[in-house]
Amino acid sequence: MTINFIHEAITSFKECQRIIKHPTNEAEYLEWVIPFDDGSITKTWTDVQTKAVELETEWNAKEYARKRKAEYPTIEDLIVALYDTDDKSAIEAKRAEVKAKYPKP
């Protein structure tokens, strides 16, 4: 789990109002206090780690899509293909090739 996923996990708790630091216990270093009408609900470091793992799993599951996007024809190529039948066939063939190379899991 990288620091980026920890950061994303922290910022995903949109209802968090303030952060309390616990320097005496690193495992509980951060605690989020979320105010509600009847008091507060607390998010612990474990909650952040759990959310970070969830976000990392989602990101890893979409690796095929990132690889496809890198190899798909550009927007400019697609625009040109709208006006040229041969280019359109080439674009369709290229997309099919990329999809076969990086199939959905």
Q: Is the pLDDT of residue 17 over 80?
A: no
Residues 34 and 68 in one domain: no
Residues 3 and 54 in one domain: yes
Query: For residue 15, what is the enclosing H or E element?
Result: none
Mean pLDDT score across all residues of the chain: 76
Q: Is the pLDDT of residue 38 over 50?
A: no
Please work out, in degrees rounded to the nearest 5, the angle formed at the alpha carbon of residue 30 by the alpha carbons of 62 and 46.
50
Give pLDDT tens digits for 40-54.
556 677 787 888 899
Full domain range(s) for residue 88 = 63-105
Give me the pLDDT at residue 58, please.
Answer: 92
Runs of H (alpha helix) within 1-105 = 3-12, 45-61, 63-71, 75-83, 85-101
Q: Is the pLDDT of residue 37 over 50?
A: no
Residues 80 and 57 in one domain: no
Looking at the chain, the whole-number percentage of residues with pLDDT higher than 90 is: 27
Residues 79 and 30 in one domain: no
Residues 70 and 56 in one domain: no
Q: How far is CA 99 from CA 13, 39, 64, 87, in A?
A: 35, 51, 9, 18
Residues 44 and 93 in one domain: no
Give me the pLDDT at residue 32, please.
Answer: 54
Question: Helix (H, G, I), strand (E, B), or coil: what is residue 34?
Answer: strand
Give pLDDT tens digits for 57-103.
999 999 999 999 999 999 988 888 888 888 888 888 999 999 999 99
Residues 71 and 98 in one domain: yes
Say how many domains are in the chain: 2
